A and B are shown apart, each in its own frame.
Chain A
Amino acid sequence: MTMIFGVPLAVFMGQLMLGLINGAFYALLSLGLAVIFGLLKIINFAHGAQYMLGAFAALLGLQYLGINYWVALLLVPLVVGALGVVIERTLLRRIAHLDHLYGLLLTYGLALIFEGTLINFFGVSGSSYPVPEALQGGVNLGFMFLPLYRGWVLVAALVVCLGTWFMIERTRLGAYLRAGTENPALMQAFGVNVPQLITLTYGFGVALAAFAGVLAAPLYPVSPTMGSSLLIVVFAVVVIGGMGSILGAVLTGLGMGLVEGLTKVYYPEAANTVIFLVMILVLMLRPAGLFGKEA
C-alpha cells in the first residue's frame, strides 16, 4: 500500500477531501461576509445563524412541505435572502449612520434570537437530512473512495464562488459594487441608487450563507447551533485572508480547510486549533491578512 509520511494514501486523501469540503464551506461563508463588509462596513455576526436557517429551512421544507433537495437549493437562498433584505430595510438601514460597531451588535443579537427561537422548538440535538437519491453512494477513484455527495458539494461551492467572483470583478453590476465600496456618495452623484444596492448586497450575502446551509444539511447534523460553532472558524479565516479581496476569501477558505485536514492526519489533537494558530502568525507577520490591502 502506498504510504505518505507513514500514513496510508487512502486515509491521507480521505482527510484531505474532508478538509477540502470544510474549506468549501469556509470559502462560501467568508465570501458572503466579505461582500457584505465591503459595501455595508458591517461584520455580519448573523451570518452563522443565516447559514443555519438555510439548513433548517431545507429540513423543515422536506418534512412538512415535501420540498426536495434540489428545489430547496434554489428556493431556500431566495427565501432567506429575502429575510436579509427585510433585515437591511427595517433594521440595519436605521443604524447605518452610526458607528459600525452597532451593526455588529445588532446582527449578533439577531443571531441569538434566531438560534434561541429554534432551540426553543427543536432543541439542540440536531436532526439528519437525507442525502438526495441521485447523489447517494460514491465512486472509487483508485487512490480513495469519494462519496458522490461530497464531490457535488465541492463542485457546487466552487462554481458559486467563481460565479460570485466573476460577477464582482468582471461585470458592470460588480463595478458598481466595487465603486460603491470606495465612494458611495459619488456613486449617488452619478445616479446610482446606492441604498438599493446596499439592500441587494446584504440580501445576496445572506443568500450565499443560506445556500451553504442547504449544501451542509445532508453532511452535518442540522441543529440551531450549527452556525455559531462554524462562524468562529470562518471569522478566523476572514482575518487570515483579509477583507480586501473576493478571490482571497475563497482561496483562504479552501486553504484553511486543507490545513485543518492535514493536521487531522498528522497531529489530530491540534486539528481544532490549527486555524487559530495560523491566524496568530498572520496577524503578527501581515496584520491586514494574506490578501488584504495594507492600510
Chain B
Amino acid sequence: MSQSAEAVQDPALQYQDDEGAEMLRVSDLHAFYGESHILHGVDFDVKRGELVTLLGRNGAGRSTTLKAIMNMVGRRTGSIVINGNETLGMPPHRIPRLGIGYCPEERGIFASLDVEENLLLPPTVRSGGMDLDEIYAMFPNLYERRRSQGTRLSGGEQQMLAMARILRTGARLLLLDEITEGLAPVIVQALGEVLVKLKARGMTIVLVEQNFRFAAPLADRHYVMEHGRIIEQISAAELPSRREHLNTLLGV
C-alpha cells in the first residue's frame, strides 16, 4: 500500500536507534470518553529495550492509557512522545507507523479471517520484523491451525495469534494489554518465555498486567496506577523490599 512508502519517506518518521534513548514519554496525559474523565494526568517513561508494567486495580486506567497512546479514546490532552515524535495530534493510523504494535485486551482476532490471514493482516511498519517461518517456529500451534477460522482457536491460541501478528510488522515498541487473562498456567508460562525472547531481541514492552507473579520476574520497572494517575514507581531492584507496600496498593 502507498502508506508504507509514505512512512519510509517522511523524515519525521525516521526510526532512531540510539541505545538507552527514550522510547516513550507520557506527560500529564488526560483522556476522556465523552463526558467522563478517565485519565487524570498520567506521567511515565519507557527506555529503549525496557520491559515496564502498568499495575493497578480494575478501572485504574491502565488499559485506557494504552488506548490513549494509540489514539483510540475520545479526547486527549497532555503529551505522548514516541521516538522523539509528539503524537497527540496524529490520526490513529499514523501512530503504529512509528513502530508500535498494540495487542488489545479482548485480543481482537478477526472471525472473517483465517489464522494466517489474521497473522498477515497488520501492515508492516518497520523493516526487521519476524518472518512467517520465525513466527511459526515460536508459535508451532499457529502453524498447525493456520487454515482455521481465527475465532475457532482456543483462548490461549488466540492470545498467541494476537501477539504473533504484531511481531511480523517490525514494531519495536509493544503495548500488551492483559495478555495472560483467563489462560491456563502452562500457556501463561509459554507467554512468559516469548516475552523473554522478545526482550532479548531488543524489543521495548509496556505490559498491562493483573497477574503480578507473571510480570514480576520479567519487568525492569513497575508503575502502579490508581484513579487515572501513576501513584508509584518501583524498580526490579527495589521490589523485594517494597513487596508488601505494593501488595497493599494492589489490594492483593
Contact = CB atoms under 8 A, between A and B. Distances in A.
A295 interface: no
Interface string B90-130: 01111111000010100010111100010011110100000
Interface string A166-205: 0000001001101101110110111111100000000000
B169 interface: yes
B235 interface: no
A190 B72 contact: no
Contacts of B72: 185, 188-189
B112 A188 contact: no
Interface residues of B, number: 26
A188 B113 contact: no
A266 B169 CA distance: 60
Chain A residues touching B, majority SS: helix
Given A189-B70, A189-B72, A191-B97, A179 B92 contact: no
Contacts of B96: 189-191
Contacts of A192: 3, 93, 123
A189 B112 contact: no
Interface of A: 172, 175-176, 178-179, 181-183, 185-186, 188-194
Nearest to A244: B112
A85 to B, nearest CB: 16
A178 B110 CA distance: 8
12 contacts: A179-B112, A181-B112, A183-B110, A185-B92, A189-B72, A189-B104, A190-B102, A190-B121, A191-B94, A191-B95, A191-B122, A193-B3
Contacts of A178: 110, 112-113
Interface string B117-147: 1001111010000000000000000000000
A181 B70 CA distance: 20
Greatest chain A CB density within 10 A among B97, B110, B125, B166 is at B110
B93 A179 contact: no
Contact of A190 (B112, B117, B123): B123
Contact of B92 (A176, A181, A182, A188): A188
Interface string B40-80: 00000000000000000000000000000011100000000
